Amino acid sequence: MRLSHLFGRTLREAPAEAELASHRLLLRAAMIRQLAAGIYSYLPLGWRVLRKIEGIMREEMDRIGAQELLMPMVNPAEVWQATGRYQAPSPGPALARFEDRFGHRLVLAMTHEEVVADLLRTEVVSYRQLPFLVYHIQTKFRDEPRPRGGLVRAREFTMKDAYSADVDEAGLDAAYARVYGAYLNIFRRCHLEHIVVEADTGIMGGALSHEFMVLTEVGEDTLISCEGCSYSANVERAEFGRGAVEAAEPLPLEAVPTPGAETIDAVAAFLGVPTSQTLKAVFYTTAEGELIFAVVRGDLTVNEVKLSNLLGGTPLRPASEEELREKGIVAGYASPIGVQGVRVIADESVLSGTNFVAGANRPGYHYRNVNYPRDFQANVVADIAQARAGLACPRCGEVLREARGIEIGHLFKLGTRYSEAVGAMFLDRNGEARPIVMGSYGIGTGRLMAAIVEQHHDDKGIMWPPSVAPFQVHLVSLGADRPEVTSAAEALYRELEQAGIETLYDDREESAGVKFNDADLIGIPLRLTVSPRTVREEAVEAKLRWEAERVSLPRSRVLSAIGELLSRPGLP
């Protein structure tokens, strides 16, 4: 490919709203262009990278026996209604719904569990047809309220999603392990350092989920891990130890004045107690308008994802003071004692202590010596608190730590949730009908591309690993006004093409500085330069993108040296 003919142009500056390095560099390097918020075109250079990533995915999925198919992006509403996700609080408005000209309700699929389950219903009859694993690489749409980071959180995106079908949980375990291994190979071949964490099942449901994460300070996910054992989880799911219950004798309930103390820190300071000796009241309103009173120990915070999942996935928003007044609740002094007309959800931390301080539901007053369940009762006591660095590991008791990350892959054990909903059954050896056991496995291809850039760049531009680079060689000709240089560069370009070496040839009439800057920005692994000096010396200058050293190759050895150079260790 001649750079003079390439569609798309490099940019000296990225738009101000591009905050992530991957977003800035993919825009500047003419890889992507934004059409609308969260919606991007892949220009030829970016599309070549995406195709390389997809090729790696196909090879690894085919290696574990997965079969590729293609399912439609537009789905009839009925298949989503059958599983309950069309009308459920989650995914809610993120699922794009519309009607065709005949009034038929349709959706733009954000994932394909429903379609796979419907295919299983029509195609599988007997246990003899199981197990199997299918996948496709398909466009998805998720109406994100806050798309950000370019390809990291887009509304329209491409995903490699796979689905397993088995007769029982043991079969699902085996399929899950095979895909897990394939994902490790995919990320290794993309030169991505990553970790695996336990994750929230979210809108997918199911019994178990793992995320593959790339650690980066600009990641949108918070990860919790243990310094003493292998425990790691997304903060949305992470558990932690709340400490042993002290054997203190419950004291009589006592109302005490706390003028102006409307926060946990203020109350604790006024009464001279640690925040862990207080109870925090947090109020939410569900999508259905129900008021939720969440109670958690004062040194902890409510995990809204855990709370939402406990309530069936309903979206939550902070309750207003007006909504609290309607229920007779005094903001800043709210109490779980005697509250009426609200659903009280208490964290397990209310069980790990005695004689707490809590609101008295009177302005300027709190209660001392609040004990559960003597003084108040909850509709549910469950884990609704958020883990954080410094708390105790739930497995070994050592200290937890935090990191930021970008999700690059996700595995789900779905079980029979979808198959039972649509009637996807099979006859077992005894002729009895049983629901098919399913798993779901996804990798966002654009997000994976962005994650590679986040890990492999410097202040000059991208450093593509050879396995996913748009081209292997960036050929630069310096001296357009010198016929002997042009002739030598053209000859080398023809040789590279004939040898099957993917080459981007900068044949433009630009200065050396412009050409080298663009080469560094685009990030192709190997730069070959033909100049008046190299022509005189019957050589070619070679430089790997991630190395400062330039080497002079004899012209006769250029083709044979390329493979050796590209296989050198040291890619950052």
Instruction: Answer yes or no: are the C-beta atoms of 298 and 366 closer than 8 Å.
Output: no
Q: Would residue 388 count as lying in a domain?
A: no
How far is 282 from 316, CA to CA, in rounded Å? 12
Domain that holds residue 189: 47-222+403-454
Q: Which residues pair with 394 in a beta bridge?
A: none
Q: Helix, strand, or coil here: 279?
A: strand
How far is 515 from 521, CA to CA, in rounded Å? 10
Strands lying side by side in the sheet with 74-76: 74-76, 105-108, 96-99
Backbone angles phi, psi at 361, to 5 degrees: 60, 30
Do 182 and 68 share a structural domain?
yes
CATH number of the domain residue 155 falls in: 3.30.930.10
DSSP letter string, 74-118:
EEEHHHHHHHTTTTSTTTGGGSEEEE-TT--EEEE-S--HHHHHH
Do 450 and 475 share a structural domain?
no
Do 216 and 86 share a structural domain?
yes
Dihedral sign (CA 154, 156, 161, 167): positive
Do 197 and 157 share a structural domain?
yes
CATH number of the domain residue 350 falls in: 3.90.960.10
Do 409 and 320 share a structural domain?
no
CATH number of the domain residue 520 falls in: 3.40.50.800
Do 54 and 157 share a structural domain?
yes
How far is 478 from 403, CA to CA, in rounded Å? 46
Q: Would residue 545 count as lying in a domain?
A: yes
Residues in CB range of 414: below 8 A, 6 or more apart: 113, 204, 205, 206, 438, 439, 440
Structure tokens at 399: 């200290």
Q: Helix, strand, or coil here: 343?
A: strand
| Number of Cβ atoms within 10 Å of the Cβ of 10 | 18
How far is 464 from 523, CA to CA, in rounded Å? 6
Dihedral sign (CA 417, 418, 422, 425): negative
- The domain tally of the chain equals 3
Q: Which amino acid is at 273?
A: V
How far is 208 from 211, CA to CA, in rounded Å? 11
Do 202 and 53 share a structural domain?
yes
Do 491 and 441 share a structural domain?
no
Q: Would residue 499 count as lying in a domain?
A: yes
Q: Tell me the CA end-to-end span of the chain in Å, nearest whole number.
A: 27
Q: Would residue 306 count as lying in a domain?
A: yes
How far is 228 from 251, CA to CA, in rounded Å? 38
Do 149 and 70 share a structural domain?
yes
Query: Which of 421, 387, 226 lies closest to 303, judged by CA?
Result: 387
The whole-number pLDDT of residue 66 equals 98
Do 66 and 195 share a structural domain?
yes
DSSP-derived secondary structure letter, 245 = P
Backbone angles phi, psi at 414, to 5 degrees: -85, -25
How far is 503 from 328, CA to CA, in rounded Å? 72
> What predicted TM-score, i.e. pTM, was given to this entire model?
0.88
Q: Would residue 341 count as lying in a domain?
A: yes
> Tens-digit pLDDT profile for the chain (572 aa)?
999 999 999 999 988 889 899 999 999 999 999 999 999 999 999 999 999 999 999 999 999 999 999 999 999 999 999 999 998 877 888 999 999 999 999 999 999 999 999 999 999 999 999 999 999 999 999 999 889 899 999 999 999 999 999 999 999 999 999 999 999 999 999 999 998 988 765 544 555 788 999 998 888 889 999 988 889 999 988 999 987 666 689 999 999 999 999 999 999 999 999 999 999 999 999 988 999 999 999 999 999 999 998 998 888 999 999 999 999 999 999 999 999 889 999 999 999 889 999 999 999 999 999 999 999 999 999 999 999 999 999 999 999 999 999 999 999 999 999 999 999 999 999 999 999 999 999 999 999 999 999 999 999 999 999 999 999 999 999 987 889 999 999 999 999 999 999 999 999 999 999 999 999 999 999 999 999 999 999 999 999 999 999 999 999 999 999 999 998 877 76
Q: Would residue 527 count as lying in a domain?
A: yes
How far is 244 from 352, CA to CA, in rounded Å? 6
Instruction: Answer yes or no: are the C-beta atoms of 315 and 90 closer than 8 Å.
Output: yes
| Number of Cβ atoms within 10 Å of the Cβ of 129 | 14
How far is 402 from 222, CA to CA, in rounded Å? 7
How far is 162 from 440, CA to CA, in rounded Å? 6
Structure tokens at 450: 């962005």
Q: Which residues pair with 241 in a beta bridge?
A: 392
Do 421 and 280 share a structural domain?
no
Query: Which of 137, 143, 156 lies closest to 42, judged by CA?
Result: 156
Q: Would residue 30 count as lying in a domain?
A: no
The whole-number pLDDT of residue 204 equals 46
How far is 564 from 542, CA to CA, in rounded Å? 12
On the question of a cis peptide bond just before residue 91, with omega within 30 degrees of 0, the verdict is yes
Boundary (domain end) residue, out of 322, 351, 382 = 382
Do 78 and 149 share a structural domain?
yes
Which ranges constitute the DSSP H helices of 297-407?
A: 304-310, 321-326
Q: Would residue 466 count as lying in a domain?
A: no
